[in-house]
Amino acid sequence: GAVVSQHPSRVICKSGTSVKIECRSLDFQATTMFWYRQFPKQSLMLMATSNEGSKATYEQGVEKDKFLINHASLTLSTLTVTSAHPEDSSFYICSAPTGTNYGYTFGSGTRLTVV
């Protein structure tokens, strides 16, 4: 079935640095990628939608200059958390529509810890 590979699975970074998270569609073309954030004991919150070759669309309240999204190819979308702070520590998950009845497939998530 359709697989989205997400890396890294865990990352610890210092406050003020930037972190890049990659999501690759392995056996299908992902023209759209959704990025979610999940805090402990909470549900997934949609942050933004990226479309190949165009600017990402951000949900209300999400800072586009802080969470840079690039979708340069049909198989790769990246999320860069810039100038990370401890409050950005969270679980980040990407998801792509598969074009089948399965609907959407999800990456395995990235646990970001900012110290």
Partner 1 sequence: DAKTTQPTSMDCAEGRAANLPCNHSTISGNEYVYWYRQIHSQGPQYIIHGLKNNETNEMASLIITEDRKSSTLILPHATLRDTAVYYCIVRSHLFYNQGGKLIFGQGTELSVKP
Please tell me whether residue 89 binds partner 1 under the rule CB under 8 A.
Answer: no
How many other C-beta atoms lie within 10 A of the C-beta of residue 44? 16
The pattern of x and - marking residues 28 through 57 that bind partner 1 according to CB under 8 A reads ----x-x-x------xxxx--x-------x
| 2 vs 68, beta carbon nearer partner 1 | 2
State the CB neighbour count (10 A cutoff) for residue 93: 22
Binding residue for partner 1, selected from 56, 81, 93, 114, defined by CB under 8 A: 93
> Which tokens sit at 46?
């949609």
